[in-house]
């Protein structure tokens, strides 16, 4: 299959299975986010809701692209961690997988709406920080990418809370002096479905949340699998074999032309070194791609080196674009941005079988394990039963926020957005006193603790596995 020792091949298969388990756990951990409102408003029976949600989670993975997945991959510059020792890569993969799965299962068991996104991102950061301490390297974590993801995960629940309050206000205003206003804001009758039009709205919002959850959270699983494949078998997965390299030389010439025209005398010595390095990378890549007809022609022992050169060139050019001393025209900046996007197509990809594997895992996971967290969302966040208006507001806001995040290529926490949306809808009804303080406190505690706990755990496991696998620290 791959040029690996039998033991390493077995561990690779185990790691891929563990990645599917993570996505499966992610599915049943987050099922409640999509189905809680339709179940508690009696719009759908539980078995109908989870099957419906699972199907649209499955579809969402395929329609979501790989923008978020690439963000996850770029968070941990695997190029700095991968070397000739496969055991080191296995240490990286095993530690972040075990940590993310453990935290997901623990919070699910406790019935806490905790974020799978936080768990995965924290696990990756923990590995990167541990590697930095071992190698005295500052490049083991892409801190700019980490900052963008961190801000996304921080502001998405704030957006969920605030927008749900606004949505409730708008519903009140728009339904003022109408015959059906009272039915929107009353507790649903026990075991009785809502009026048809309300039911359709709630099912529609459930559908959107499920679809966008798949498009965002599914991509995290894809990114995780690609980290595994690039880390353990880079000769096979470092480059996108389906990409046509015919346009690469022209793309590189455009980058080279802009760089050559820069007045580097205004730069400090370290920045001039970056320019020189970018020129060297461009020249070497041109030589590699000049006569290629397909990516598969690149020898296996050179494929990861090519990937690394593309990543370094991308990084160096982006650094130069931030230097205000360089008088770079807007046209030149546009040329560089477009050229880098085109160049990265050679490395930013995911095989179809990975999409299928993750979509099946997420879809199946969504169909089970929903009861614990549904109960928390439906009954314990507020002191009143969820009304139709509250359910629709929270779900609509969640779907919209996740959709925007996916479009921007940023991971969002479905759990935090929806639970915050439910809380916001409760506050919109009767103020802060309408919140169940103990539940809100526990959710906030899980939110605050997730990153430090999983970072510490994944870093510790990484150091332990490196020691066990290689016999040295």
Which of 1-15, 201-215, 333-347: highest mean pLDDT?
333-347
Mean pLDDT of 67-72: 82
For residue 297, what pLDDT is reported? Answer: 92
Domain 239-344 has CATH 2.40.50.140: no
DSSP state string for 213-236: HHHHHHHHHHHHHHHHHHHH-HHH
Give per-residue pLDDT as tens, 199-255. Answer: 888 888 889 888 988 888 888 889 889 888 888 888 889 899 999 998 899 999 999
pLDDT digits (tens, 9 = 90+) for 16-69: 998 898 888 877 777 666 777 787 777 888 888 888 888 898 888 888 778 888
> For 361-397, b where at least 16 C-beta lie within 10 A, e where not — what string?
bbbbbbbebbebbbebbbbbbbeeebbbbbbbbbbbb
Of 31, 28, 2, 33, nearest to 16 by C-alpha is 2
pLDDT for 124 beyond 50: yes
- The SS3 assignment for 324 reads coil
Mean pLDDT for all residues in the chain: 82
Cα distances (angstroms) measured from residue 403 to each of 55, 293, 411: 18, 38, 10
Q: Which residues contact 254 (CB under 8 A, 6 or more apart)?
A: 335, 336, 339
Q: What is the pLDDT of residues 82-102, one digit of tens each?
A: 555 667 777 888 888 889 888
Q: Is 283's pLDDT higher than 70?
A: yes
So what's the pLDDT on residue 473?
42
| pLDDT value of residue 472 | 46
Sorted by where each begins, the domain ranges of the chain are 6-236+350-470, 239-344
Looking at residues 156-166, what average pLDDT do you find? 88
pLDDT for 234? 83
Would you say the C-alpha torsion 368, 373, 377, 383 has a positive or negative sign?
positive
Q: Give the range among 80-94, 124-138, 308-322, 430-444 with minimum mean pLDDT.
A: 80-94
* Beta carbons of 400 and 209 less than 8 angstroms apart: no
């Amino acid at each position: 299959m791959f040029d690996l020792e039998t033991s390493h091949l077995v561990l690779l298969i185990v790691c891929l299975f563990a990645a599917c388990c993570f996505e499966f756990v992610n599915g049943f951990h987050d099922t409640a986010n999509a189905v809680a409102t339709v179940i508690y408003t009696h719009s759908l029976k539980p078995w109908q809701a989870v099957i419906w949600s699972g199907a649209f989670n499955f579809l969402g993975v395929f329609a979501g692209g790989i923008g978020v997945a690439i963000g996850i991959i770029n968070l941990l510059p695997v190029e700095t961690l991968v070397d000739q020792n496969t055991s080191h890569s296995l240490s990286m993969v095993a530690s972040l997988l075990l940590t993310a799965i453990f935290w997901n299962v623990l919070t699910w068991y406790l019935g806490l709406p905790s974020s799978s996104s936080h768990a995965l991102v924290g696990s990756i950061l923990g590995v990167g920080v541990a590697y930095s301490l071992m190698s005295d390297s500052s490049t083991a974590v892409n801190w700019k990418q980490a900052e963008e993801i961190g801000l996304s995960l921080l502001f998405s629940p704030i957006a969920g809370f605030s927008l749900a309050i606004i949505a409730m206000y708008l519903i009140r205003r728009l339904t003022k002096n109408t015959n059906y206003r009272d039915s929107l804001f009353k507790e649903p009758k026990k075991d009785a479905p809502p009026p048809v039009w309300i039911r359709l709205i709630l099912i529609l919002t459930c559908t959107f949340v499920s679809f966008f959850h798949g498009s965002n959270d599914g991509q995290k699983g894809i990114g995780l699998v690609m980290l595994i494949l690039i880390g353990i078998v880079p000769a096979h997965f470092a480059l996108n074999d389906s990409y046509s390299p015919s346009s690469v030389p022209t793309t590189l010439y455009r980058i080279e032309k802009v760089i050559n025209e820069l007045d580097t005398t205004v730069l400090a010595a370290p920045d001039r070194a970056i320019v020189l390095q970018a020129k060297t990378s461009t020249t070497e890549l041109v030589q590699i791609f000049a006569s290629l007809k397909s990516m598969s022609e690149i020898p296996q022992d050179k494929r990861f080196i090519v990937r690394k050169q593309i990543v370094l060139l991308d990084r160096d050019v982006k650094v130069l674009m931030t230097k205000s001393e360089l008088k770079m025209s807007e046209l030149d900046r546009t040329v560089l941005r477009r050229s880098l996007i085109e160049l990265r197509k050679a490395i930013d990809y995911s095989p179809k079988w990975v999409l299928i594997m993750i979509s099946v895992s997420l879809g199946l996971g969504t169909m089970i394990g929903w009861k614990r967290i549904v109960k928390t969302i439906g009954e314990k966040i507020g002191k009143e039963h969820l009304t139709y208006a509250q359910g629709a507001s929270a779900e609509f806001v969640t779907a919209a926020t996740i959709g925007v995040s996916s479009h921007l290529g940023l991971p969002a926490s479905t759990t935090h957005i929806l639970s915050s949306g439910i809380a916001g809808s409760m506050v919109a009804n009767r103020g802060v006193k309408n919140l169940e303080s103990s539940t809100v406190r526990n959710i906030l505690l899980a939110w605050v603790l997730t990153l430090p706990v999983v970072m510490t755990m994944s870093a510790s496991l990484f150091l332990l596995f490196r020691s066990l696998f290689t016999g040295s620290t």
